[in-house]
């Protein structure tokens, strides 16, 4: 009797493991329908031969990331509409928002993940569908937020490859310089012209791709990320601010809240940065109009007198982001571009804006994809 029970249990266990393995390996292609329209919301300056800064504020959802081909289709549609309006040329610098590459972590997953009601449940599906990758990432996690670290780390090599193929491909296809928003990767580096993920701490990173699709310089790591809880993403070296040469001038990138620190602009000035791109992301419905919460645990610069609650989140971004606002920055132009859309129960609320000669220009609309153009 005992042998029979053991045999029955063993057969049931094998059947369950076989079924689970087949389920985890199955990646059906779900129905895809996405709005490819985008509106030119801000168009400043006079068309000349000096090029332009063009911000793309996309409206993205989890289904846009079911494959890198789907995300390419949407972003290429935005760029094609910009080209049709005469906004692309050999000196155009296109700026995409923060974390537009990070969500590549959910590419190629099961329908249950995209249909989940919450981000937490979606991440549970991500782990369940990739048990070996998740287990390996959890064992090698470097931060106190071990679960978040594992989710971000588990597909990092594929993410780095897809990020370069997608955004480098778009730069080459439309013959533009592309600030490819940002992506969270462990110890990212450019080695022999390829973006590689390492095995160390996670960093929020931006790569600039030239017109030939190749990376320009090394990845720019975010130096002072701000979090509401224990971070999974590390802080970069504040001395490593990269400035790259583009056909429109020398370009620096400040990711998100790094644009709130006056010292960063002085470092960019010292390297002759003429243009500044700020990929950004504000999480939460209506947060843009709610009271600003301050630096939230990070060191407050001595020159910043703004106190939490004095202004709204949006007003704080406009006051603290000093691109092309002398004497805070000697750059001639700058642009802050925010990610919009809905990722399960997490919405976003940032509104992109540009700066030139001490003036700021913004689009007040909260919904839909937007183009913001500044002729240099």
**Is residue 7 included in any domain, yes or no?**
no
pLDDT at 23: 40
DSSP code at position 291? B
**Is residue 208 included in any domain, yes or no?**
yes
**Is residue 23 included in any domain, yes or no?**
no
- 296 and 274 Cβ atoms separated by less than 8 Å: no
CATH of the domain at 101: 3.60.110.10
Alpha helix ranges (H) inside the chain: 2-25, 68-84, 111-114, 119-129, 131-139, 146-153, 156-163, 169-174, 262-270, 313-320
pLDDT at 142: 80
**Is residue 148 included in any domain, yes or no?**
yes
What total number of domains does the chain contain?
1
Tokens of 22: 């087949």
DSSP code at position 258? G
The pTM assigned to this predicted structure is 0.90
As to burial, measured by CB atoms within 10 angstroms (0-12 exposed, 13-18 middle, 19+ buried), residue 122 is: buried
pLDDT at 230: 46
Q: How far apart are CA 14 and CA 40, in angstroms?
A: 57
Strand, coil or helix: 373: strand
Task: Look up the domain containing 40 and give its range.
Answer: 35-375
Tokens of 34: 């996405």
Q: What is the DSSP string of 57-119?
A: E-EE-GGGGSSHHHHHHHHHHHHHHHHHTT---TTEEEE--TTTTGGGGGTT--HHHHT-SSH
49: CB partners within 8 A, 6+ apart? 91
pLDDT at 29: 55
**Is residue 131 included in any domain, yes or no?**
yes
Chain-centre distance for alpha carbon 95: 11
Provide the CB-side half-sphere exposure for 77 (13 A, CA). Answer: 16
DSSP code at position 219? P
146-153 vs 119-129: helix crossing angle, rounded to 10: 60
pLDDT at 368: 85
Q: How far apart are CA 242 and CA 273, in angstroms?
A: 9
pLDDT at 300: 87
Mean pLDDT by 10 residues, the chain (376 residues): 50 41 49 80 92 96 95 97 97 97 95 94 94 91 85 95 98 98 96 94 96 96 71 63 95 96 95 97 93 87 90 95 89 96 93 92 82 97
**Is residue 85 included in any domain, yes or no?**
yes
- 101 and 180 Cβ atoms separated by less than 8 Å: yes
**Is residue 172 included in any domain, yes or no?**
yes
Q: Could you tell me which of 122, 115, 107 has the C-alpha nearest to residue 159?
A: 107
**Is residue 9 included in any domain, yes or no?**
no
Q: How far apart are CA 340 and CA 55, in angstroms?
A: 13
């Amino acid at each position: 009797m005992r042998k029979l029970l053991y045999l029955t249990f063993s057969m049931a266990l094998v059947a369950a493991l076989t079924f689970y393995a087949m389920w985890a390996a199955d990646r059906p292609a779900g129905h895809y329908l996405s709005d490819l329209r985008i509106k030119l919301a801000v168009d400043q300056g006079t068309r000349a031969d000096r090029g332009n800064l063009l911000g793309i504020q996309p409206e993205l959802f989890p289904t846009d990331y079911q494959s890198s081909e789907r995300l390419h289709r949407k972003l290429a549609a935005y760029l094609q509409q910009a080209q049709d309006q005469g906004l692309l040329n050999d000196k155009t610098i296109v700026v995409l928002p923060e974390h537009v590459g990070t969500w590549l972590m959910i590419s190629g997953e099961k329908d249950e993940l995209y249909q989940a009601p919450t981000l937490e449940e979606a991440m549970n599906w991500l782990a369940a569908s990739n048990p070996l990758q998740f287990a390996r990432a959890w064992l090698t996690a470097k931060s106190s937020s071990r679960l978040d670290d594992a989710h971000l780390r588990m597909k990092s090599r594929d993410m780095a490859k897809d990020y370069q193929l997608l955004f480098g491909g778009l730069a080459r296809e439309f013959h533009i310089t592309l600030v490819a928003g940002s992506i969270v990767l462990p110890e990212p580096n450019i080695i022999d012209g390829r973006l590689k993920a390492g095995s160390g701490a996670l960093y929020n990173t931006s790569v600039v791709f030239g017109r030939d699709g190749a990376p320009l310089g090394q990845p720019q790591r975010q130096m002072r990320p701000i979090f509401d809880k224990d971070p999974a993403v590390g802080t970069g070296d504040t001395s490593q601010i990269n400035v790259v040469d583009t056909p429109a001038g020398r370009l620096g990138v400040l990711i998100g809240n790094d644009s709130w620190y006056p010292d960063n602009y002085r470092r960019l000035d010292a390297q002759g940065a003429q243009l500044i791109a700020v990929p950004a992301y504000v999480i939460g419905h209506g947060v843009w109009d709610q009271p600003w919460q301050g630096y939230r645990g990070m060191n407050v610069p001595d020159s910043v007198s703004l106190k939490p609650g004095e202004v709204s989140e949006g007003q704080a971004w406009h006051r603290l982001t000093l691109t092309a606002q002398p004497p805070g920055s000697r750059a001639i132009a700058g642009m802050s571009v925010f990610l919009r859309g809905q990722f399960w129960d997490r919405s976003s609320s940032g509104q992109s804006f540009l700066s030139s000669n001490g003036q700021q220009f913004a689009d007040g609309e909260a919904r839909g994809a937007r183009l913001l153009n500044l002729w240099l």
